[in-house]
Chain A
Amino acid sequence: MLRSILKRVGYMLIVVWVVSVMAFVLMRCAPGDPTATMLPDTATEEQRAALTAELGLDQPYIIQYLRYMKGLLMGDLGHSTQYNQPCATIIAQRLPATLCVSLISAVIVLFISIPVGVISGVTRGSMTDFAMMFLVVILQSMAVVWVCVLLLLVFVVKLDWLPSMGYYGLAKPQYLIMPVIAMGYRMCAQVARMGRSSMIDVLNEDYITCAYARGLSKWEVYSKYALKNSLIPVITIYGLQVAAMLAGAVIIEQIFTIPGIGTMLVSAVNNRDYPMVQSSLIVTAAMFSLVNLVVDIAITFIDPRIKEV
């Protein structure tokens, strides 16, 4: 087990390195550079040249990359050109909000979507199944922007129950309600659908028929045999969705004024803040890989046959 985990951590490092190369190359391919937004457009050619040299952007790409990687290996994520602060400081300020909203969404989704999927699967064809799947399809069809606006109109403008903007972590949970709903509703629908179809597949397996033949009750069959096996694809999808949420949700962050990593990344790209973009992508890639590792480990616990993670 430990060997497999170490192997997987090795893969993670490769993924992060590939992401760092891609982020570096893609940002250099994009037209414009940090000096374009750091100086006013009335700046002279000499001023631009001086700033370009100061930022080390006049060096060959390979030198720039090696310098960045050297810093990275020594724990230095670089210095943001737009914030004029270390990237690590900015990321450390922004990451908690993204993690908080994403993880609370993820936990709530887990407790809602899996029971919905399972109940829908075991009651296939019933009114309960129809009602649940009808709701799930509606949720999946709604655009995030529209849902955010709807939430604002209903809970802020009409009912005046919730504040419209701001983020204070768990100290003021009322500020988290709308962002958490907006972040999680689609994922909830997706996981529930996956749970239903997975449950239906498992219930059609021979070993389930065999279990019934052994005289086990419905609930014994569902809880001991069906549920565990139906969870494998659900957890895989769930893990991918959680990992994607950790990269930040720009629209949600903008609408509810949440200081997350998504809006910061967009701003960094627009300002061609190379170190900030590279560092944010590396951090999110690492988180993505970590969540996938956790998911893979969780799957081996559910199904011990999957030894190799």
Chain B
Amino acid sequence: MKHVRSRLLCMLMALSLVFSLAACGGGETPSGGEKNPEGPATAAPGKEGEIVVNVSDNVTMINLEVYANNNSCQFLYADMVFDPLYYGDRQGGNTPCICTGYELSEDGTEATLHIREGVKFHDGTDLTAKDVVATFEFILRNMDTLGLASAVWSNLEGVELIDDTTCKLKLSSYFATFEVSLTYTWILSDEDIENYGDDFQSAEKIINGSGPWKFVEWQDGQYASYTSNKDYWDPSVVSNIDKLSVWFVNQENAKVSGITSGDLDYAQSLRSDMVPMVEGKPGIEIIEYVSDVMYYLQFDCAADSVFSDPNARKAFAHAIDVDTMLNLVGGGEAMKCMFLKSLMGYDESIEGYEYNPELAKEYLAKTNYAQQQITLYSRNDLVSIDDVMAVFVQNLTEAGFNVATKICDSAEFVKIRQNPSEYDVFFVNLGAFDGDPYNLYIVPRIVDDCHNSYYKNEQLNQLIMDSYTNPDAAQREEMLKQVAQTVYEECGPVLAVYAPNGYCVIREGLEGVNATKCAGPYFRFARVDEAVWKK
């Protein structure tokens, strides 16, 4: 009996050992590709003579769908592997890419796109207008589930193939951000859509773009790797980097140790208190900028809310000490105009609301506010949000508000904003992509009132829509300035508070990184100065 027990125990231990060793073998790569044999730069610099660059992004990639780009990492992937119709630097500059140019009909409801010849997908097949048409048809079929594409192409009604290099879009009306919409339209292969169906990317059967980088592999939770497409149609864009891996690192300490040890060559959005740890290190440059991300308040302006009265909103605006908040978030700029400086419509003549608790009390006294509790909501992923909310409470209490705060996660926050009259006021951030104030900002948030603020101002809405559909840029800008002025005078429904500083760290010799001030970086044009790099 004793022998049997001993044998069983031995077997148990052996099984445990086998189990551990099997576990250590690693899983299949999600892309089905080969496991990255190189690893970070310093740990193993790759094959002899190969240029390997490792960069970090704050968020994790969750799938390989080009149009499900809900975070910066997905954008980055689409931007590198696929070609858009127009290339957007995300700061207002749009240049022809797959589409060499377009003509609009007189009423602006038809756009004829001219498609570049000689472009090939990574599998060697030609990219033609047929693929462009298939991509638009894919967008039209999936409008309900494609986040950004459905927002930027809400005016798209249909698409028609003219010939191999031409196609025509039918629009419900002209819209000012047409060119921006072209920058968010990455071309998929008609053949792939036909062969694999609409969710072919999620099934990872094929990643076939035409961009300057070829997809190598995605290690879920770790990194995505790309290699330079040496056959890219525009030789000036072909990178001399052999392998570029984007690591998903959201821990500040990991970023700092990665940069200082040489495992990382670029880190985005370093927290201000971590900057001194990399400052002065040889071969590392720190880039400081005021981000193109605004932190703003939105009020519940329904009839039964205290904030239906502009005086209450002005009391709120004068009560908050933005400079103290900026100190807590690592610096930045207080916003006076509702538009960031990079957005069309920014009006520097707007003076903003100064911090003045006495004036806030005066404004509050003009309202029928009876000390009912006001709940200020925010999201838990914002920088130093606990501290900022504490300042809000202190300032608002001093001005005479009875305020409570609630910090929620993203999913709860979205629900709160969806439900009618669920919030009194919320504080959140919004990136200013593409210098475009319309698609993500004033059209959905003011005209469509997607967050249920119940702010009603038909004149303002009309002004926004008139400007949105006006083809004359100068007139459009003037109209947007009027919008900014009206929102300032009304102090609602949105109140821009500040744009915080951002920091990114880059290794000397790494060039062409588009460190956008509002989202993650873009590496489409990344290359290295070999003389500096090899040192």
Contact A157 B221 (CB under 8 A): no
A37 beta carbon closer than 8 Å to chain B: yes
- Give per-residue flags for B1-43: 1 if the beta carbon is below 8 A from chain A beta carbons, else 0: 0000110110010001001110111111010000110011011
On chain A, the residues within 8 Å of B247 by CB distance are: 165-166, 257
Q: Is the CB of B25 within 8 A of A170?
A: yes
Contacts of B147 in A (CB 8 A): 38-40, 43
* B151 at interface, CB cutoff 8 A: yes
Give the residue name and chain of the A residue nearest to B409 (CB). Answer: A270
Interface assignment of A213: CB less than 8 Å from any CB of chain B: no
Q: A61 near B: Cβ within 8 Å?
A: no
**A221 neighbours in B (Cβ, 8 Å):** none
Q: Evaluate contact between A297 and B12: CB separation under 8 angstroms.
A: yes
Interface of chain B residues 422 through 448 with chain A (CB within 8 A)? 440, 444-445, 448
When distances are taken between beta carbons in the complex, the residues of chain A under 8 Å from B145 are 38-39, 47, 50-51, 54
Question: Would you give the 0/1 interface string for B59-96, flagging 1 where the beta carbon is closer than 8 Å to chain A?
Answer: 01011010010100000000000000000000000000
Pairwise interchain contact A99-B12, C-beta atoms closer than 8 A:
no
Chain A residues 82 to 111 lying within 8 A of chain B, measured CB to CB, are 82-85, 90, 92-97, 99-100, 103-104, 107
User: A165 and B263: CB pair below 8 A?
Assistant: yes
Chain B residues with CB under 8 Å of A48's CB are: 418
Smallest Cβ distance from B9 to chain A, in angstroms? 5
Q: Are A90 and B23 in contact (CB under 8 A)?
A: no
Pairwise interchain contact A92-B412, C-beta atoms closer than 8 A: no
* A11 proximal to B (CB < 8 A): no
| Residue B451 is within 8 A (CB to CB) of chain A in the complex | yes
Q: Is there a chain B Cβ closer than 8 Å to A267's Cβ? A: yes
A164 close to B24 (CB less than 8 A): no
**Chain A residues near B414 (CB, 8 Å)?**
32, 36-37, 41
Output the residue of A84, A257, A258 with the most chain B CB within 10 A: A257
> Nearest Cβ distance between residue B27 and chain A, in whole angstroms?
4
Nearest chain B CB to A264's CB is how many angstroms away? Answer: 7
Residues of B within 8 A of A169 (CB): 24-26
A78 at the interface (CB under 8 A from B): no
Q: Which residues of B contact A171 (CB under 8 A)?
A: 26, 35
**A301 and B8 form a contact (CB under 8 A):** yes
Partner of A83, one of B19, B62, B256, B263: B62
- The answer to whether B151 touches A42, judged by C-beta atoms less than 8 angstroms apart, is yes
Q: How far is the CB of A109 from chain B (nearest CB, A)?
A: 13
Q: Could you say which of B21, B65, B448 has the most chain A C-beta atoms within 10 Å of its C-beta?
A: B21
Complex: A48 Cα to B21 Cα, angstroms: 45
Q: Is B20 touching A107 in the complex (CB atoms < 8 A)?
A: yes
Contact of A260 (CB < 8 Å), options: B19, B40, B221, B415: B221
Q: Do A164 and B440 touch across chains, with their CB atoms under 8 A apart?
A: no
Task: Tell me which of B28, B62, B253 contacts A148 (CB under 8 A).
Answer: B253
Determine if B257 and A152 form an interchain contact, defined as CB atoms under 8 angstroms apart: yes
Known A30-B412, A33-B415, A48-B418; judge A103-B19 contact (CB<8 A).
yes
- Cβ-based interface call for A75 (8 A): no
Name the interface residues of A1-49: CB closer than 8 Å to any CB of B: 30-34, 36-44, 46-48
> B450 at the A/B interface (Cβ < 8 Å)?
yes
The yes or no answer to B475 lying at the interface (CB within 8 A) is no
Asked whether any CB of chain B lies closer than 8 Å to the CB of A168, the reply is yes
A130 and B323 CA atoms in complex are apart in Å by 53
Chain B residues near A36: list those with CB within 8 A. Answer: 410-412, 414-415, 418
Contact B39 A168 (CB under 8 A): yes
Q: Tell whether, in the assembled complex, residue B144 and residue A163 are in contact, meaning their CB atoms are under 8 Å apart.
A: no
> What does the 1/0 interface line of A125-162 toward B look like (CB < 8 Å)?
00000000000000000000000110011001100100
In the complex, what residue of chain B is closest to A91 when comparing beta carbons? B27
B32 CB to nearest A CB, Å: 11
A32 touches B415 (CB 8 A): yes
Nearest residue, chain B, Cβ from A90: B220
A304 vs B8: C-alpha distance when bound (angstroms): 13
The answer on a CB contact under 8 Å between B411 and A270 is yes
| Min distance, Cβ A42 to any Cβ of chain B, angstroms | 4
Partner of B248, one of A40, A93, A163, A257: A257
Q: For the complex, is B402 an interface residue (Cβ under 8 Å from A)? A: no
Quote the shortest CB–CB distance from B264 to chain A (angstroms).
Answer: 8
Interface of A, helix, strand, loop or mixed by DSSP: helix
- What's the least CB distance linking B468 to chain A, in Å? 14
**Cross-chain contact B257 with A157 (CB below 8 angstroms):** yes
Instruction: Give the total of A residues in contact with B, Cβ under 8 Å.
Output: 74
Cβ contact within 8 Å between B221 and A301: no
- Any B CB within 8 A of the CB of A255: yes
Within 8 A of B (CB), among A178-208: none
Residues of B within 8 A of A172 (CB): 39, 44
A211 at the A/B interface (Cβ < 8 Å)? no
Residue of B28, B249, B444 near A257 (CB, 8 A) is: B249
Task: Considering the complex, give the chain B residue whose CB is closest to the CB of A85.
Answer: B202
Q: List residues of chain A with CB within 8 A of the CB of B327.
A: none
Interface: B408 (CB within 8 A): yes
**Contact with A270, one of B24, B251, B410 (Cβ below 8 angstroms):** B410
Within 8 A of A (CB), among B129-179: 143-145, 147-148, 150-151
Chain B residues near A170: list those with CB within 8 A.
21, 24-25
Q: Contacts A149-B253, A156-B257 hold; do A83 and B43 have CB atoms under 8 A apart? A: no
User: B151 touching A96 by the CB < 8 A rule?
Assistant: no
Please measure, in the bound complex, the distance between the C-alpha atom of A107 and the C-alpha atom of B456, giving whole angstroms.
66
Partner pick for A92 among B27, B202, B415, B440, CB 8 A cutoff: B27
The answer for the CA separation of A270 and B408 in the assembled complex, in Å, is: 10
A174 to B256, CA, bound (A): 19
Q: Contact at B70–A37, with CB atoms within 8 Å?
A: yes
Task: For the complex, give the distance between the alpha carbons of A67 and B78 in Å.
Answer: 35
Contact of A33 among B8, B20, B143, B411 (CB under 8 A): B411
B36 to chain A: which residues have CB within 8 Å? 168
Given known A36-B414, A47-B144, A100-B23, contact A256–B254 (CB-CB < 8 A): yes
Question: Quick check: is B261 within 8 A (CB to CB) of the other chain?
Answer: yes
Decide if A254 touches B250 in the complex (CB within 8 Å). Answer: yes
**In the complex, are the beta carbons of B254 and A152 less than 8 A apart?**
yes
Contact (Cβ within 8 A) A165 B40: yes
Q: How far is the CA of A172 from the CA of B44 in the complex (A)?
A: 10
Report A-chain residues with C-beta under 8 Å of the C-beta of B251: 254-255
Q: Which residue of B lies closest to A106 (CB)?
A: B20
Residue of chain B at shortest CB distance from A269:
B409
Answer whether residue A263 sits at the interface, using C-beta atoms and an 8 A cutoff: yes
In-complex Cβ contact of B222 among A100, A104, A174, A257 (8 A): A257
Could you tell me which B residues sit within 8 Å of A by CB distance?
A: 5-6, 8-9, 12, 16, 19-21, 23-28, 30, 35-36, 39-40, 42-44, 60, 62-63, 65, 68, 70, 143-145, 147-148, 150-151, 199, 202-203, 219-223, 247-251, 253-254, 256-258, 260-261, 263-264, 408-418, 440, 444-445, 448, 450-451
Closest 5 CB pairs of A and B: A259-B221, A32-B411, A99-B23, A163-B43, A103-B20
Q: List 21 A-B contacts (CB under 8 A).
A: A32-B410, A41-B414, A42-B444, A42-B448, A47-B145, A83-B62, A93-B28, A95-B23, A97-B27, A99-B24, A103-B24, A157-B257, A160-B261, A164-B264, A168-B26, A168-B36, A254-B254, A255-B253, A258-B221, A270-B411, A297-B12
